Structure formats: C-alpha cells, structure tokens
Amino acid sequence: MTIEDIKKHLTTTEFGKKIYAFESIDTTNTYAKTLALQGSNEGTLVIADDQLRGRGRLGRTWFSEKGKNLTFSFIVKPNIPPQSIGVLSLYAGVSVAAAIREVTGITPECKWPNDVFINGKKVCGILSEGIFTQDKLSAVVIGIGLNVNQSEFPSEIRETATSLMLAAGKVFDRFQVLATVLEHLESLYDNIQSNRINKILSLWNRYNRMFGKYISVSYQNTVIRGIAKQLADDGGLIIQVNRDEQKVMAADVTIIKE
C-alpha cells in the first residue's frame, strides 16, 4: 500500500489531503491522536494494512486480516459541544452505510452507537475519541474498521462477522471503497459544522436496525433492559424501561429479540 495507491482514487478536497500510510502500526487511532495534539489539519488520514493492537469500543480487540480490509483513522475539528461527541459515531456510521450501498448495491443497517451490519452480521466498527483543551472539544479522531475482502474469521466471531466480498460475492478494490467512504464523510461533514445534527440523525434512522426491539444495555457498571425507542437530539439512545424512558450516551448494546 502506498499513498499514491490511495490518492489516485480520491475525489475529496480536505479528507485525505494529508495521508500517513503504514504497512503495520499499533493502532491508527493512537497515531492520529498524536498528530491531532501536534496540530495536524482536519481531514488528515492515517491508514494501515495491519494493526498490531487494533481496538474497538470498551477496549475490545479488532481483528482484521492484513491487506484485505480497511483500517484507518481521520481527524476532525467539529464545532459542537463536548456532550454531543456521540453524534460523530453516528455521522461516520451513516457515511459508511451510504458508501456500502453505493459500491455493493446492498443496503446495510446501523446499530447504535457505532456498528454497521449486513444481513445481521457486523461489517464495520467505529471508534471515536475526543481531544479536549480546557474542557473544550478541540479535535476528534474517528477510527473505522471495514471488512472488505476478508473471507475467513476467527472462530469466536465467525457467525457474527462478514465482509463486503462475502455479502456481494465479489472482490473489491479497497482503495476505491476508501475513496467512496471519504466522499460521503466529506459531503456530510458540513451538517456537523453547520449544526444540522437533525440531518445526521434523520439519515441514520434510515439505516437503523434497533427501534422497537428488546435490547440489553450495559453502561456505568449497570445493565438495563428495555425497548429501543429513538435517538435523542444529541445522538443518545432513548430506551423504554417499563413505563419510564431513559437516555444513554455511550453503552454496549445487545439486541435480545429481533
């Protein structure tokens, strides 16, 4: 993988304008956070063929076969309050979902807060990490792991993971897929900067696979069960628990009943 391999497909103006490409790296998010702290520009992209310590939310390991998929992170500097940072995972999720539909013809599903599924199996995970300066959100690193051409998965996730190749029955050009994802990320980003959060939420709702379903939610060392109702204005998830409604901002969600 070279920067030239990537750039020849790009049509974006800011996202991917500066690229750091690695054959192997601990995690792209960690490297991108260092760049953000050093003042790197919005849209800076960090991508690797192999992550030695790839991770998802809650410290989970992200498994990706070298050279088969996309593992990358990018820097944004959103004009939003710190409490709305969760919206960025939804923004990234809907951008990936739109790109998947464009390149495969398959309509995927989004699961709050940060996953994309095809036919009930996970194809993409997203990890957003904020950088704060004096209690203000100065930058956010958004990491995306998208299974593109992987055909085999470890036994523990074999029944729950998929790739674009497995779903569509053909091999994809990874860098064309990347270019399409970046196109959607860049085109939707103005909604973040212009505080049109409702536009992002509305788009996410088109792909959602949760509402009306019975779910288990783990957060703040507690577990609650209830019906997933809707998104809150700040990107949180509203759950009906018995006769009450609760909002959670960051949690691990399992769908119990489809």
Residues 133 and 151 in one domain: yes
Q: Which residue range(s) make up the domain with 232?
A: 214-257
With beta carbons less than 8 A apart as the criterion, state whether 226 and 219 touch.
no
CA end-to-end distance (rounded Å), the chain: 40
Residues 189 and 253 in one domain: no
What is the mean pLDDT of the segment spanning 87-115? Answer: 96
Residues 106 and 227 in one domain: no
Per-residue confidence (pLDDT) for residue 136, from 0 to 100: 86
- Judge whether residue 222 has pLDDT over 80: yes
With beta carbons less than 8 A apart as the criterion, state whether 138 and 131 touch.
yes
Residues 66 and 112 in one domain: yes
CATH of the domain at 92: 3.30.930.10
Residues 167 and 145 in one domain: yes
Per-residue confidence (pLDDT) for residue 57, from 0 to 100: 46
Per-residue confidence (pLDDT) for residue 206, from 0 to 100: 95
What confidence category does residue 258 fall into, taking pLDDT thresholds of 50, 70 and 90?
low
Per-residue confidence (pLDDT) for residue 51, from 0 to 100: 80
Boundary of a domain, candidates 207, 224, 247: 207
Per-residue confidence (pLDDT) for residue 58, from 0 to 100: 45
CATH of the domain at 225: 2.30.30
Share of the chain above pLDDT 90, in %: 71
Boundary of a domain, candidates 167, 182, 207: 207
Boundary of a domain, candidates 192, 207, 222: 207
Residues in the chain: 258
Residues 180 and 231 in one domain: no
Handedness of CA 73, 76, 81, 84 (dihedral sign): negative
Per-residue confidence (pLDDT) for residue 81, from 0 to 100: 86
**pLDDT by residue (tens digit) across 110-167?**
999 999 999 999 999 999 999 998 888 999 999 999 999 999 888 888 898 999 999 9
Residues 165 and 134 in one domain: yes
Residues 233 and 252 in one domain: yes
Residues 61 and 97 in one domain: yes
Per-residue confidence (pLDDT) for residue 1, from 0 to 100: 82
DSSP string, 44-64: -EEEES-BTT-B-GGG-B---
- Number of structural domains the chain divides into: 2
